[in-house]
Every structure is written in C-alpha cells, then in structure tokens.
Structure 1
Amino acid sequence: MEGYYADEAASEFTDIPATDTPVWILGVKYNALHDAAQIKKDICTKIWVTYRKGFVPIGDTEGITSDKGWGCMLRCGQMVLAQALVNLHLGRDWTWSPETKTAEYLQIIHRLEDRRQAPFSIHQIAQMGVSEGKAIGQWFGPNTVAQVLKKLVKYDDWTSLEIHVALDNLLIINDIRELCKTGGISWKPLLLLVPLRLGLNEINPIYIKALQNCFKFHQSLGIIGGKPNMALWFMGFMGNEVFCLDPHTTQKSGTIGKKETEDEILVDLTYHCRKAPRMNILTMDPSIALCFFCKTEKDFNDLCDNIKEHVVTSDNQMLFEIILNKPTAYFSESFAESPKHSPNLTKHSEDSDEFEVL
C-alpha cells in the first residue's frame, strides 16, 4: 500500500531537524525544536494527490487509464483545490486521522477521485485542458492548471468557490471584489492564483524573501511549481529549504465511498503522506503560481495589505503589481497580450517547457 503505510521507511514522518529554526506551513508558524509532533500532524493532514493507474479511460474506451508521466501538474492543482475546500468546509485548524469520516472530508475526496463524474477528477481536468490547447495526456504548466480549475469550479455548487487567475503579473483589487461579491453584498470565498515566471532557467535570488513571506500569510495555499522535469506543491519553508508534497508516486485508483469497508479505508490512507521532502528554494523552477484562499472579504483586504507591505517591497524585488482598478489601456486576457508588466519579471506568454514528460 502506497501513501500512509507505503513501506518501512515511510512509516516514519519526514525528519524535522531539532533546531530553533521557525517552520512555516501555509500561514502557521512552528518551532522545529518544540513543535515536531504538530508539524508532522499538519503535514499528514494535507490531502496528497498522486499519479494513479487503472482508472476508467479518459476519452473513449481505448483512452488513457493512467496519468503517470504527464499528470503531475494536474495533481498539484488538485492538491491546492483540496486545501482550499478543507479551509472552507472544515477550517484551517482541522486535522485528519485514519479514523476520520467527516461528511465534508468525504465530499472533498469524492470530488478528486479518478471518475468521469467527479467534478475535479483527472478526467475532468484533462478534458477541460483541451480548451486551453493541451491534448489529453499532455503535461500542463502552472498557468494552464489555474485556468482549467477556474472553469471547472463553475460547475460544482457545493464547492462554493470563485477562482481568480491574476494574469500579466498584475493583481487588480476591484476586479476580484466584483467577482466575489454576489449582488454587491455577499462575499463568495476566493481561491486566488498568481502565475509568475521569476527568471529564465532558475529563480532570481532577489525574489526569495518575498516568496518566503507569502508562506507566512494565513491566506497562503502555498505554491504550485516544481523543479526541472517534475511538478510539486510547495506548502512551507524552513530556513532556505521548502517543504513539498510530491505527486510522483503511482497508486492504484479506487474510491473512498463512505469509508466503511477495508478497501475504502485503505484508499483513504493513500491520500495522506508521512513524507514531505525538502529542497533548497533556489532549485525551484522559476515558473510558479502563488496560491491564496480568502474565505471572507476581510481575509482578502488583509491579504492585499500584506502583499503591499511584504511582497511589493520595491521596484527591484516586487513579485507582481497590485492596483485598485484596471488601467484604462489594459485589454489583455493572456500573458502574450500584456501591455503592462513588472520590469524584473520575464514575460510568460504560455506555460514553459520546464515540466516535461518523465
């Protein structure tokens, strides 16, 4: 069995060095020396989505039955969406255990399962990717998976989310308020994705502090990114290292059902991992998407304030721009058409080639 009880080595949690170095995981600060148990529980609670095999074919009856080698970025998108749904329906402080049967939790897993009917299954994401110019079985980049998820959430009322993808390195506050404020009054929870390219072949070190600051915001849902040839979901950092969940494990497809049978219980275990690899932040691929969740308008206003104070710090180091209203001359719907752009960020006309078939 993969995942939670994969093998003897995986029966131990990720090693957390016993130092006073702060550990940040999606807006929560821990002390590596004193909070090891809480860090491990937080990591294991995260919904881990990996390659699967043996699912119903994507497309026709002769279609693809495994996403091994091409679905890593799609799986990272599922992980970010899953965490947004956990924060919305269960709360950021909710924790998972092998005995968990919470109705909301089961609903979230059902939406990710490898079934054609599941709203955010590999089938739905891959097929919606066709509208973004990606053939079924072709890898995605961060921007593509963001655009696909934005379309798919429109078809699932229970999810109760709006997704905004901030293009052209530009976050326009009033565009988001217009999107999320139903009838100009009620706020609909927001999953905000900001695709960026922070260098040519590697991340420019001048952006590291701002990236680390993003993990500290309580609205943080981490970073969709990776390293050459593999997509990863980064969910925190410790010193100059980032923690990630890695989708590059191929597990058998299955359903969690009501988590009553032995098989259903075992399937649930495959969605949780005791290992969160660490890597130097400078080895991250420069093509990323920052991810944030704002349950309320107050959350969004607070996020904007934090971005202005800790991310948009100077013309030389700003990750992206944040403004109140769309510029008069602004007409772009894609990176390729952008009339405005932060001077130190390389223009990103489409998903880069860094995420290749393994």
Structure 2
Amino acid sequence: MDDWLLLSSESAGPLHLEVSREDQDSEDRGKLKSKLVSAWNSVKYGLFHGKCNTSSITISGERERFRCSFVTLLWLTYRRGFPQLPGGSLTTDSGWGCVLRTGQMLLAQGLLLHLMPPGWTWSVSHHVVRDDMDLLGLNSKEGSNKRGRRLSLDLRLFRPMAATHRRVVSWFADNPTAPFGIHKLVELGKSSGKRAGDWYGPSIAAHILRKAVAASTDLPNLVVYVAQDCTIYLEDVKRLCERPPPQSWKSVIILVPVRLGGQELNPSYITCVKKLLTLQCCIGIIGGKPKHSLFFIGFQDDHLLYLDPHYCQPTVDVTKENFPLESFHCKHPRKMSFSRMDPSCTIGFYAKGLKDFESLCTAALSTSAETYPMFIFSDGKSQEEEKGGYTPPNNITYIQRKNERKRVDTSNSMDEFVLL
C-alpha cells in the first residue's frame, strides 16, 4: 500500500493484479479486490473536490484521479538565489521560512479554487498547451485532420486556464514585486515583530496572508478572514463579504489558528481533523512538527498526507516567457503519523459565495468534538473589531473555561493560541 499511495511516475499507470495460480477461483480474486478497494477507500483527500466512489470506478481510474488532483496543487518550497530580503542580506529562506511557504501553499489552493473551473487539473492543461506546436503539426499528416481539429479545440479550451495558472504561480514568485512572494510576506510580518530569518508561527502567518490579499489589486472579489480566539464571528465575515448588487457577496478564505492540545496533539481531536480534511470547503492545514511546518492535504488511516516545503530549489525567473513550471508541482505525496503532528496549526476554508459560506458553517459544525470544539461560530462581532481593528498579541494566550477568559503569559511559546 505504501508504494501505491506514495505515487511515483512508474506507479501512475493502471494497477495490474497478478494471480499466482491459474486455477485460483473467482472467490479468491473477489476477496483480493475487496481488500484493495477497502484500502483505497481509507484514503481521504478533501482538497481534491469530488470524493470518488470506488464501487463505480476502477481502482486504476481512482488512482489516476488522485494523481492528477495531487499534482495540480501548487508546491512552494525553500528557494535560493533570489534578491536580498528587506532589512538584511539573506538571499534564501532555507532553514526559517517553512511556515511562510506552507502559508503560501494554503493561499494558493484557495486561489486555484477561486479562479479555476471545477475539476480543472494542471497536468492535462499543461501538457496540451506545452506541446501545442507538435499537436497542431499533426494536421499535415495523412488521416490526422479530425484529430488535429480536436486538439485545436483543446488548445482553445485549455490555453486560457493555463495562462491563469501561470499568472497565479507568478504571484508567489521570489521577487519584491510579487504580491504573495516571500519578500512581500516578510515585509508585512514586520508589524508583528518578525523579520527575515525569524521563525513565523501558523497564527502570525495567517494574519500576514490576510494583509497580503487585502493589499493586492489582483483579487477584488476575494477577502481573507482570520478567526480570533478560535471563534468565527459571523457579523465580521458578513461585513467583509457583503457588496452592492448585482454581485452581493465576495468569495472568502477563512483561516482558523488553533492549538489542539499541549505539547502533543490531543487524541480527541484526531477524528475532528480527519472530518475537516474530507470537507469540500477545506483547503488544507498548515502546521506539522515544531519549527518544521508542513501543508496537510488529507489522510490515510492514522497518517496525514502532506506537501513538504523543506527542499531548497533555485529561484525561477517568472518574468521570462513560458518559465518552467515543474518545480512548482510535486509528484510524490508523503505521509506522517498523527502522533507526530504539532498541536499548533492553522486550518483553511474557502467559500465561493453566500450559499457556500452557509454550507461551510453547517459542515464545519458537524466536525466538532463533543467536549471542546476546535473552533466555534458566533453571531456577533469580535471585541477587537468593535474597538476598530485587530492586532495579534505577542506571547499572550487566552484560555476560556465556562465563559471566563484569563490572560496568561506564554513567553516561552513560539506562538499565540487558544488552548481548548
């Protein structure tokens, strides 16, 4: 099963089941197939929008669908050789920028859902457009006119989406002008007391992403809301998203910083995390291990599937025409035991419109723990909003028990969270 799930280029093809004896009866084959289907059904990937039903689709087709969906995710890693970061001489984020990179991946997933049509995958679009000259050249070959016309139609369909995808990638480029690049995120982190070379916690990263989207002129119909004290205030979301007719609601990315236990993940929350990752509205979780952030995209049994930013690649010059895209897409998913997950993390959701947001609220509530939910919804406004804005506190955690809130110094912690 490991070789099956950690998909290599060789394993991307159809699954062939070999029978050791020619006279093995159909009952044994049925049992083997049933076990394989059961194992595949244990893979949950809420990010990939469109949970597959293996009772009506072949196992090899299911694997291919998973592979295409996984490869479509933007993979943003450490880079080296980019222009110096503000306030220093650093030309790489290797060793300290993993949380910012996972934050970029979380935002990128929301942007792809926001800008691309449902079901779009990078692998098909990329290969059709990349080989367009060769494909259109088939028209000169005997008997290929019909195929050439079909490929020409494919180009007209896929080229605009490929251009949009390339534009999204350029927004995360490692240069000072990119709206969501490492330079911009470091600049926005200064207001939270962070600078290049510091370690950024998941909560700080959430607020940096909010500021970056608010400052961008490329996404007028999208806003980012960051939950406060593990609470999503519906009145605040409504204020952010409402707009004049005819389009009366903006799309929203909701980021929820949480701490799911003390030094280790509280076991009672593992089931909740699994439920979250299967939701259509969930765009992933940033967290991982202490000072070792990962981007969680799904799970299999007791293991989380993730993208790892801890791989230093050369900087790509996105100003060049048709700059290479391969380093922004990962071919091989990895997995990690839930027991190794750091309890400090940020959960992301995306809602296209008002109905999607209402569905998000309903779906997220169904994932709550019986005793202490990971986060809650409130009909009112946050206290910080009523005071005219929110600034994340430094080394302060609010612990809520029976409607009493106490202020506790957490100067030895790496970030600020509500302990449930």
TM-score by length of 2: 0.73
Q: Distance in 1 between matches of 2:258 and 2:197?
A: 24
Aligned to 2:70: 43
In the alignment, structure 1 residue 29 sits paired with structure 2 residue 29? no
Map 1:200-349 to 2 at 5 A.
Answer: 200-257=262-319, 259-260=321-322, 264-265=323-324, 268-308=325-365, 310-314=366-370, 316-326=371-381, 334=392, 336=396, 338=398, 340=400
Aligned to 1:121: 181
Aligned to 1:88: 114
Distance 1:210 1:92, change over 3 A: farther
Residue 298 (structure 1) shift: 0.7
* One-letter amino acid of the structure 1 residue matched with residue 196 of structure 2: I
Q: Are 1:113 and 1:121, in contact at CA under 8 Å, matched by a contact in 2?
A: yes
Aligned to 1:109: 169
Residue 342 (structure 1) shift: 8.2
Aligned to 2:233: 172
The range that moved more, 91-100 or 247-256, is 91-100
The range that moved more, 179-188 or 9-18, is 9-18
The answer for unaligned runs of 5 or more in structure 1 is 1-8
Residue 209 of structure 1 aligns to a residue whose secondary structure is helix
* One-letter amino acid of the structure 2 residue matched with residue 301 of structure 1: E
Residue 352 (structure 1) shift: 4.2
In the alignment, structure 1 residue 58 sits paired with structure 2 residue 85? yes
Residue 143 (structure 1) shift: 0.5
Q: Are 2:206 and 2:255, in contact at CA under 8 Å, matched by a contact in 1?
A: yes
Residue 281 (structure 1) shift: 1.7
Distance 1:206 1:246, change over 3 A: same
* One-letter amino acid of the structure 2 residue matched with residue 286 of structure 1: P
Q: Which has the higher contact order (CA 8 A, sep 6+)?
A: 1
In the alignment, structure 1 residue 142 sits paired with structure 2 residue 202? yes
Q: Distance in 2 between matches of 1:139 and 1:165?
A: 20
In percent, how many aligned pairs have the same letter? 32
Length, aligned pairs only: 337
More helix by share: 2
* One-letter amino acid of the structure 1 residue matched with residue 209 of structure 2: L
1:39-91 deviation digits (Å, cap 9, x = unpaired)? 1111111000000000011126x621000001101111111111111101113
Q: Distance in 1 between matches of 2:254 and 2:163?
A: 26
Residue 328 (structure 1) shift: 7.7
Residue 214 of structure 1 aligns to a residue whose secondary structure is helix
The answer for unaligned runs of 5 or more in structure 2 is 1-6, 16-34, 130-158, 416-420
1:246-270 deviation digits (Å, cap 9, x = unpaired)? 001100001244653xxx23xx100
